[in-house]
Structure formats: C-alpha cells, structure tokens
Structure 1
Amino acid sequence: MSSRGEHQTMPLSVLLKRELASEKIENPEIVHGQASQSKKGEDFTLLKTECQRAMGDGVTTFSVFGVGLAKPFLLQLFDGHNGSAAAIYTKENLLNNVLNAIPTDLNRDEWVAALPRALVAGFVKTDKDFQERARTSGTTVTFVIIEGWVITVASVGDSRCIFESAEGGIYYLSADHRLECNVEERERITACGGEVGRLNTGGGTEIGPLRCWPGGLCLSRSIGDVDVGEFIVPVPYVKQVKLSTAGGRMIISSDGVWDALSAEVALDCCRGMPPDAAAAQIVKEAVQAKGLRDDTTCIVVDILPQEKPAAPLPPPKKPVKGMFRAMFRKKPSESSSHVDKEYMEPDVVEELFEEGSAMLSERLDTKYPLCNMFKLFMCAVCQLEMKPGEGISIHAGSSNSVKLRPWDGPFLCSSCQEKKEAMEGKRPSGDRHSSESD
C-alpha cells in the first residue's frame, strides 16, 4: 500500500471546476413503465436502473464528489423470430459483451464517448457466439443507455425508439432495417451475394414484403439467423444525443406497435398519462387497430428534471421530415457562454454521434479519440488476448489504401476476421460452420 505522502495531488482550481460542473450537470429523474400482449412469446425486455460502474481519469476518481459510481439507466427490447433462443441468449449476454469492450479507467465523458464503438463490438460478439451454437432463430435488438442527459441507442431490426422533447419535437433514435423501406440495405445484400424479392407463389405471382433469400427474412440486420446468410449482419445503427434539461418522453416498441401506429398517434394516445399507464394504452391502441397479429411490447420512459412533478406534455409540433434520418435541431449559433450551452433551451436535442454503416472497418476505425480503446494485442470484438503479430488489422484488404493503412489498428483475432469477411461477402456464407458438421 502507498503511504499518505505518496498520494497524487491536484490543483484546487481543478477540483473546484469539477465540483461546479457536477452541480450544473444534475442527473434527470427517470420514470418508466412497460406493457405487452403476447402472440408468439418471442418478445423480451431487460430494464436495469442500477448499472454501477467505476470511473476514473488516470489521476484520481470522482468519488470525492459523490459520483464515483455512476448509475446509467439501461433498457433493451428483443423481438425474436423463428423461436426465442436468440432473444433469450442476447438478453443474457449482450450487456456484458458491450461493457467488456470499454476500458475500465475512463472518466464519465470518455465512457459515454466509448459507447458507440463498444456497442458495435458487443453486438458482433454476441451474434458470433450465438451462431457457434448452431441455433436457427434470430432477434431484433433495441439497446438504450441513459447516462445523465445523454441517450445512446443501438438497434438492429425493426423495433423502434422515438423521443418527444418537452416542447413537442419528435426525434427518431433508431433505424428501420426492413428491406421493404431501406434501399441501401437492399443494395448491400445483393452486393454480398444475397437475393432480395417477394415470396413467389408460382405462375409469376409475388406476395408479401421484400425478403432476403435464402431464408426469406424481411430484415437486413439481426442477431442470430445463421440459416439465412451472414450478409444479414449484427452491426447496429448507433445514435447518441444530449437532451436539454427540460427532458421529455421516450417510447421503445416492437414492430407489433409500429405496424399499427405512427409515432404521432402513439404519443397522442397516452398524453398526460404516467409511463406504466401510457405503455398499456399504446399496446391497447395497437391491438385495437390491427388485432393481435404479433407480439406487441412497449416501454415508456419519462426523463424529467429532478424534483419536478411530471406534467402532461403539450401537443406535439410538426416533426422534421424524414422518418428514418437523423432529425435534430441545431443549437443557436449566437450562444455566447458556456452556461448557455450547459442549459440548452427546451426542445433542443444535440446530436453527439450517428453511424449506420454495416462495415466494421468504418465502425471501429483509428479516428477514435481514446488511444487506449483498442489495445494492440487484444481483439477489438471478442477481447481475446493475442500474441504480438497474431492480430489482423481491421483495415486489411481495404481498397482505400491512402486513408487506411493495413498496419494500423484496431486488430481482430482470426475468428473475428472470418466473421468480418463473411459479413462483407468476401467468402461463402457458412464456411465457418462446415468443420462442425464434418
């Protein structure tokens, strides 16, 4: 143990600045409720309000200011298909896989900044591990972490997360990976060797939504689905936003809700209700509109200023056009002080990060600001320790040789490199499993 005299000291001005910052950035009050009606028994949720993690900045910890153990609020929604195995496995393992991809010695801001890349690594590892079990089911995932006033959402599939600010602006925090409505994903799958088309009933008659063949899945991204082809990727769309301190309401629902209700209708039908009653009302409205044709699950979360009673949200303003695009208002350019930026006016949602590419080399790149995010001798996806020279650069084989160098990290182990190549259509799907069937 070190003696008292060996403890590192910090200037008083730095400590006072941190204390002042901690007073300004007061965590919101979070109230949530959920409801569901089951048709197939393949929808699952996971809500954790006490996710503790230690933070540090390499010199000292924030514990002296009472925030050494932060408690992010976590929500996950899984909509399984072809059975519930993938949804259950993902519910049990995804969170740990994401957290294991984040270094332990980060302060609060660094931890939040590390989340997007860690989410990509965690999703891919979860899919890779599940597929090695040779089970044939799959699942959509909507993964939400609320840390202070920052919301981070990662999603694959067609469940959806929306947010209405206190002043009525509607924001879409997830992407829809249905082939029917996503042209870019259709092009990606055909470029990787898959086929996209409707179900052919014979005689040239085609019915139903666009699907990926083989397998007939109408989604382009999911966890699991080993029988469909590995161009159905687990790489999530990730969006991270910072709310104003006025807060608002978030709704996370499976496609059983969104097939029946628009975002505006879902928000309007439960206005003024507490979250538990609001979730039940949304499910009721969806079932009344279309019938119980699928599992229908809804989570409602109110994010409120501390010690202020929940008030009915005002009628929504007309949302910015473009349902499946980033929709955020810009901060006023005339903001002249740091205090103005800390206390943004109501209905101002600041976009911190957004990326939806299915390519790992773009999602785990070297532009990441944390130098210790990807360690030299550790796989960036599965966290396997490797000997010097064993790792394969995420940029190996890249056509953009000027911008990306093959000797730059992060690095993958041989197994995760095979997974990456399969997802990018660089080798026949299913090669990884051939040895298991011999």
Structure 2
Amino acid sequence: MDNLCCFNPVSQVVGGRSSSSTGKGKSHQCAAKYGFSLVKGKANHPMEDFHVAKFVHARGHELGLFAIYDGHLGDTVPAYLQKHLFANILKEDDFWSDPSRSILKAYEGTDQAILNHNPDLGRGGSTAVTAILVDGKKLWVANVGDSRAVLSRNGQAIQMSTDHEPNTERGSIEDRGGFVSNMPGDVARVNGQLAVSRAFGDKNLKNHLRSDPDIRPADINAETDLMILASDGLWKVMSNQEAVDIARSIKDPLKGAKQLATEALNRDSKDDISCIVVRF
C-alpha cells in the first residue's frame, strides 16, 4: 500500500480513553476541512465510541477517511475497527477498480477477524459508519447499525446510510432463528438484547445478526455543503435537518461538531455522543 501516514496527528485522537476529545484537520488538495467532537454520555460505563478523521495519500490520490464506531458491552471491538477497518478496505487493488466490492469484503472480513479473535476482544460489538472521500470529488458511505451519515446539498439533509433496526429487519432475524422483542417502554431488541440488527462482533448473537453494510456513493459538487457522521447519541434526539441546520450555521466544522454534541446533551441524550462534521 502507498503512504497511508501523511496526516496531522491531531486527526487521530483515540476516542475511547477519556470523557471527551476534539480535533480538526483539512485537505491539502481541495477545500474540504473537518472537525470532530466525542463526548461521554450519562450512562454508567466507560466511553465506548471511537472515530477516524484524517486525510491520507495513496496511489497518487488523496483520501479523506471518516468513521464513527459505537461500541456496546465494552470498547475493544470499536478500538479494533479504528485500527483495522480502513486498512482492510484499502489494502487490495479492488478499491480502485470496484470500491463497493472492496468495502463489502472488508466489512465482512473484518467481522470474521473479530470473531476469530474472541475471547481476546470479548463478547461485545460495535456499529460503524464510514465515509471515504476520493480527491474531494467522490464519496463512498457504508454502515452497519444505527450510526448515521447525512449529506447536505444546498442546505437540504440527505440521509446517506440506513438505520439497521430490529423491527425493520425482523424477517432476516427470524429466518436466522432469532426473534425480536418489543417490551413496553423499551426499543425493539434482537433476542431481547441488542437494539440493532447488524453489527460487528456480538459473537453470542452472530447467528441472528448481519454484518454486511449498506453502501452508497455520491458525487461532491458545488451544491454539496457538508457531511455529518454521528453515533445514535445524536440522532436519538435530533432530526437530520436539525443537525444540518446547526452545522451549516457555524463556519468552523470543529465548532459545529462541538455545538451538535452540546445540543444533544441539552436535549437529554443519555448515550455517548460522537460527531464528525466535514465541510466541502
């Protein structure tokens, strides 16, 4: 693989070791710049969100790599994803000839590697939303779980990822021998445990879960304002359009990411809140 380490170290703050972290960076090739903010939620467990936000160079191209990994039952799986998922996507020639196929193979191969590392990585799991920006012009978004990517075109929010919720994928879960619980006062859960229908890890539930991502490309043009990647700690309390409106009102993407996290806390979000804002 060509050089994958030409980036500002501030862009690679580990997101699972403290109550909060922030940072920013920019492209050296196009006008894109980013800021991120990760804030521990009010739940009584350590921070379980990790992220990636950086620009790298490979094969004569500049790639913007952005991701949110939202862990559950510990932080070992999202930490593993932070280190390995993008490397697995980019390590083969497939990405340059068929990005969608490369992303699919890497997601499923990384999940298998996580399961093979068990018990080293424990019984937990993680959602993921990833975005790869190629030369500031082409975007590839993929996800498993309920972290989300939203694009803004002329101020209009466009959801680029799919929330994988147990009720919407009940048929797949039941076909795999699982069930979906809908207890009063609680969200739908796979086998009464997990509130997403696709995830990395979760070995005890893996027979009833999927790890294949939804993948969506987009062209970045003059109408494209910004992109937001965030964990469900944000989306549980804020609509796509509300998030876009807040981010667009603040020119600095770092300040925009911080404001989104602050607003989610003000709206009494209990979960960890992780947010990346990319301005084109």
TM-score, normalising length: structure 1: 0.53
**In 2, distance between residues paired with 1:137 and 1:155?**
18
Give the secondary-structure state (helix, strand or coil) at the position aligned to 1:124. Answer: helix
How far apart are 1:245 and its partner, in Å?
3.1
Residue 114 of structure 2 corresponds to which residue in structure 1?
A: 130
The answer to whether the 8 A contact 2:66-2:132 is kept is yes
Pairing partner for 2:139 from 141, 151, 160: 151
| 1:148-227 equivalent positions in 2, closer than 5 A | 148=135, 149-165=137-153, 167-180=154-167, 182=168, 185-199=169-183, 206-213=184-191, 216-227=193-204
**In 1, distance between residues paired with 2:214 and 2:220?**
19
How far apart are 1:233 and its partner, in Å?
1.4
Pairing partner for 2:52 from 27, 46, 51: 46
| CA offset digits 1:355-409 (Å, max 9, x no partner) | xxxxxxxxxxxxxxxxxxxxxxxxxxxxxxxxxxxxxxxxxxxxxxxxxxxxxxx
Residue 66 of structure 2 corresponds to which residue in structure 1?
A: 75
| 1:62-141 equivalent positions in 2, closer than 5 A | 69-103=60-94, 111=96, 114-134=98-118, 135-141=122-128
**In 1, distance between residues paired with 2:150 and 2:235?**
11
How far apart are 1:207 and its partner, in Å?
4.0
Give the secondary-structure state (helix, strand or coil) at the position aligned to 1:266. Answer: helix
| CA offset digits 1:280-325 (Å, max 9, x no partner) | 111111110124x11001100001xxxxxxxxxxxxxxxxxxxxxx
Residue 219 of structure 2 corresponds to which residue in structure 1?
A: 242
Residue 24 of structure 2 corresponds to which residue in structure 1?
A: none
- What amino acid is the match of 2:38? S
The answer to whether the 8 A contact 1:102-1:115 is kept is no
Q: In the alignment, does 2:263 pair up with 1:285?
A: yes
Q: In the alignment, does 2:247 pair up with 1:270?
A: yes
**In 1, distance between residues paired with 2:156 and 2:271?**
29
The answer to whether the 8 A contact 2:156-2:244 is kept is no
**In 1, distance between residues paired with 2:66 and 2:277?**
10
| CA offset digits 1:222-259 (Å, max 9, x no partner) | 11000113231110000001122343111111000000
The answer to whether the 8 A contact 1:154-1:239 is kept is yes
The answer to whether the 8 A contact 2:151-2:224 is kept is no
Give the secondary-structure state (helix, strand or coil) at the position aligned to 2:267. Answer: helix
Give the secondary-structure state (helix, strand or coil) at the position aligned to 2:182. Answer: strand
Which residues of structure 1 form unaligned runs of 5+?
1-26, 55-68, 104-109, 200-205, 304-438
Residue 32 of structure 1 corresponds to which residue in structure 2?
A: 34
Pairing partner for 1:296 from 257, 273, 276: 273
| 1:5-24 equivalent positions in 2, closer than 5 A | none
The answer to whether the 8 A contact 2:174-2:208 is kept is no
Give the secondary-structure state (helix, strand or coil) at the position aligned to 2:203. Answer: coil
Give the secondary-structure state (helix, strand or coil) at the position aligned to 2:131. Answer: strand
| CA offset digits 1:13-34 (Å, max 9, x no partner) | xxxxxxxxxxxxxx63111001
The answer to whether the 8 A contact 1:256-1:297 is kept is yes
**In 1, distance between residues paired with 2:234 and 2:195?**
17
- What amino acid is the match of 1:194? G
Give the secondary-structure state (helix, strand or coil) at the position aligned to 2:279. Answer: strand
The answer to whether the 8 A contact 2:157-2:244 is kept is no
| 1:293-332 equivalent positions in 2, closer than 5 A | 293-303=270-280
The answer to whether the 8 A contact 1:101-1:121 is kept is no
Give the secondary-structure state (helix, strand or coil) at the position aligned to 2:113. Answer: helix
The answer to whether the 8 A contact 2:155-2:248 is kept is no
Paired residue total:
243
**In 1, distance between residues paired with 2:172 and 2:145?**
15
**In 2, distance between residues paired with 1:164 and 1:121?**
28
Residue 12 of structure 2 corresponds to which residue in structure 1?
A: none
**In 1, distance between residues paired with 2:166 and 2:106?**
24
Give the secondary-structure state (helix, strand or coil) at the position aligned to 1:125. Answer: helix
The answer to whether the 8 A contact 2:34-2:277 is kept is yes
How far apart are 1:114 and its partner, in Å?
1.2
**In 2, distance between residues paired with 1:279 and 1:245?**
22
How far apart are 1:41 and its partner, in Å?
0.5
**In 1, distance between residues paired with 2:85 and 2:98?**
16
